[in-house]
Amino acid sequence: MTQPIGPVDSSKTPRFAGPANFARLPRLDQVERADIVVAGVPFDAGVSYRSGARFGPAHVREASRLLRPYNPALDVSPFELAQVADAGDIVANPFNIGEAIEAIEDAATELTREGTRLVTIGGDHTIALPLLRAAAKQHGPVALLHFDAHLDTWDTYFGAEYTHGTPFRRAFEEGIIDTEALSHVGTRGPLYGKKDLEDDRRFGFGIVTSSDVYRQGADEVAAKLRDRIGDRPLYISIDIDVLDPAHAPGTGTPEAGGMTSRELLEILRGFRGMNLIGADVVEVAPAYDHAEITGVAASHVAYDLVSLLADRHASHPARAAVGAGAEASAHV
């Protein structure tokens, strides 16, 4: 087994120099194969308020320069446990949402074809639907933990079925999420009506509000979510607006009363050992960010997701066959 290629050595090249790959990792074309890839999707044609998340992947990568190779909170060195690489950006048509969704699904399917795990940086939350489609091709209907200020289970906006507020309703309708293992986390703020909650409950979602996180604490929330999900294949989708605007001002639809970045990270760390198969971090809009506050938060969230995936990979090095009979090999 070849030692994975890690990030650029900051003792030889300063963090503010060199290519801005995520965490200064190698590009996908610089490694023989990758166990985990980070990919951007610079797409925001599905937003309903502030645009600008198309610039999110570059912003988060830039903020990730300061990440270091050892994660003390989880006591893992993720880039030693698995080969992690930056796969660059998935190109999606900014003028045709339907075509963009197909392109994202195709690219995610190809990137994960041999068992590689994918962490995606958005982009707006529309991209979660094609990413879930790709995940379901390998794993069947997946458990979903959705961190967001909003439900994102609305039916349409101005008659449009595919927007950043509708992906999880479409996912339910398509049968690609496990209705016994769904939960929103961090929701808050006004809704259009009580029917929003009734529809959401009908789809199978549980709700942990930001107030629940405040009152119960991160450890208790993480434990309850673990019980709900079990060892099902789990996809985690994180809208950065789950954080309070004090912690993530650079986003398209901010809501008061959100979680702190510390609470979000501690909840994620409580998922260690779960069967995480993919994740996304979306809705970072750098035009509204101040001093990279949102970018820094998003880069650390993505880093902890990579750490969880690497830890799981090291604990389960010989995966079962995935996809259409493809065999996932150990990292090189």
Residues 55-70 have a mean pLDDT of: 98
Domain count, the chain: 1
Residue 305 pLDDT exceeds 90: yes
CA distances from 41 to 55, 103, 282, 298 (A): 9, 10, 9, 14
Residues 226-247 have a mean pLDDT of: 98
Q: Which helix (H) or strand (E) holds 238?
A: strand 234-239
Residue 189 structural domain: 24-315
Domain presence at residue 40: yes
Half-sphere exposure of 231 (CA within 13 A, CB side): 2
Domain presence at residue 10: no
For residue 318, what pLDDT band results from cuts at 50, 70 and 90? low
Domain presence at residue 220: yes
Look up the CATH number of the domain holding residue 281.
3.40.800.10
Domain presence at residue 141: yes
Domain presence at residue 225: yes
Domain presence at residue 4: no
Residue 324 pLDDT exceeds 70: no
Domain presence at residue 329: no
Question: Residue 140 in contact with residue 233, Cβ under 8 Å?
Answer: yes
Residues 180-207 have a mean pLDDT of: 97
Residues 101-115 have a mean pLDDT of: 97
